[in-house]
Amino acid sequence: MRIVQRYIFFELLKVFGLALGVLTLLFILGGLVREAQEQGLKPAQVVQIIPFVLPDALRYTVPATLLLAASMVYGRMAGSNEITALKSLGISPMAVLRPMFYFAFVLSITTVWLNDIAVSWGRAGIRRVVLESIEEIAYGLLRTQKSYVSRHISIVVKRVDGRRLIQPTITFQSKGSAVTLSSEEAELRSDVDRGTLTIIARNGMLDVEGRGRMLFPNDVLEREVPLERGDTSAELSHPSYMAMREIPTALGRQRAAIDEQYDEMASQAALQMLTGDFADLHGPEWITQEAVVEDLENKVHRLETEPHRRWSNGFSCLCFVLVGAPLAIRLRNADFLTSFFLCFGPILVVFYPLLAFGVDQAKSGDLPAYSVWIGNVVLAAAGAWIMRKVVRY
């Protein structure tokens, strides 16, 4: 029996490795092409980004390729009557399926880890590479094409002399208004940590839409342009960007902040009652206080949900093959693509909507954080039911 299990395991490994390599390569190439087009990246920057994109790609491709491998190997074995032959020798299909389940369990743990580093290390790495390249990309395009356009800023120059932009016209957004800066010369400096591009202009004019113009002859003007949308520090502190080891500490801080807020509200209410200011107990400041508490509690719900979401996503590998492997045997179809799509179709329709529902409800606090596992439980139950059919008949 060990020979058969070893044979099945190496067959799974071969199919999984080949499919994972091809699918991940396509996923990475598609993602990098999109990123390069949006950011104007050069080949050198694209190569730098690859290690940071890889974990993000693998966390999506591993579950799908594992299901593909299970469908192919077990579908071919069932279609060739190998499973029937083993059953006639008194060997339970569970013995045949065991290598896949062990392999899926190990990959599930690995995928949880990939989920963690993709959001905490990978996204931060991509951001850093892009921001570090802004100056080089902008100066390169300005030297060759005399213009540089991104979603944050537009620059047109007469020529470039070293780092000096000669007669530039720079357009960007500031506090909701379009700003046009024209000057005799200017220089660009990026700040990776702050995510900004500083424009140092000399002897020119600043035109703010709807507010008028400002001249600065024989003077130097510095303006910072944010290179990222929104508040970057707030975004990076979002639970979706945290490593799981950081979440317990963040949860402790949030709960302490809630307790502090409640203590402050209790003190304020006690003071108002003692002084007879009963009307102020229903004043507008209490609406603000309640909104602060609600915001803090929402952050707690998100922090509690995030580890469950990553573990649930990771263990989709095991749940997929709990359904896919016995279903491939049950279908007895040697065409692995047919088996794969017959397995993946219901999983796509059932698992991901249930996962999204569980995550939304847990983040809002309407359901406990472990409701994220609803999709996994449904797949595991369906797999157990199909397994029973395979073992019995």
- Give per-residue pLDDT as tens, 272-316: 777 766 666 666 777 788 888 888 899 999 999 999 999 999 999
pLDDT at 111: 95
Residue 11 lies in a domain: no
Residue 211 lies in a domain: yes
Q: 3-class SS at 99?
A: helix
* Residue scoring higher pLDDT (338 or 158): 158
Residue 160 lies in a domain: yes
Angle between helices 284-314 and 336-364 (to 10 degrees): 160
Residue 159 lies in a domain: yes
pLDDT at 278: 63
Gap between the Cα atoms of 391 and 329, Å rounded: 10
pLDDT at 229: 57
Gap between the Cα atoms of 124 and 122, Å rounded: 5
Q: Which of 203-212, 303-312, 313-322, 366-375 has the lowest mean pLDDT?
A: 203-212
Q: Determine which helix (DSSP H) or strand (DSSP E) holds 155, and give its type and residue range.
A: strand 153-156
Q: 3-class SS at 253?
A: helix
Residue 187 lies in a domain: yes
| Domain total in the chain | 1
Q: Using pLDDT thresholds of 50, 70 and 90, give the confidence band for residue 251.
A: very high
pTM for the full predicted model: 0.80
Phi, psi of 347, deg, nearest 5: -65, -40
Q: Which residues of 345-371 are buried (b: 16+ CB within 10 A; e: fewer)?
A: eebeeebeebbeebbebbbebebebeb
Q: Determine which helix (DSSP H) or strand (DSSP E) holds 304, and give its type and residue range.
A: helix 284-314
Given a contact cutoff of 8 angstroms between Cβ atoms, the answer to whether 347 and 317 are in contact is no
116-157 confidence digits (pLDDT tens): 999 888 888 887 887 778 888 888 888 888 988 877 789 999
Q: Determine which helix (DSSP H) or strand (DSSP E) holds 199, and give its type and residue range.
A: strand 196-208
Residue 185 lies in a domain: yes
pLDDT beyond 60 at 244: yes
Task: Record the tokens describing residue 206, joined without a space.
Answer: 């600043």
Task: Record the tokens describing residue 256, joined without a space.
Answer: 């302490």
Residue 173 lies in a domain: yes
154-170 confidence digits (pLDDT tens): 999 999 998 899 999 99
46-87 confidence digits (pLDDT tens): 888 888 889 989 998 999 999 999 988 998 888 888 888 888
Residue 179 lies in a domain: yes
> Which amino acid is residue 35, in one-letter code?
E
Gap between the Cα atoms of 105 and 122, Å rounded: 24
Rg over CA atoms, the chain: 29
Mean pLDDT, the chain, whole residue set: 85
Query: Across residues 203-229, what is the average pLDDT?
Result: 83
pLDDT at 340: 80
Domain that residue 199 falls in: 153-227
Given a contact cutoff of 8 angstroms between Cβ atoms, the answer to whether 73 and 12 are in contact is yes
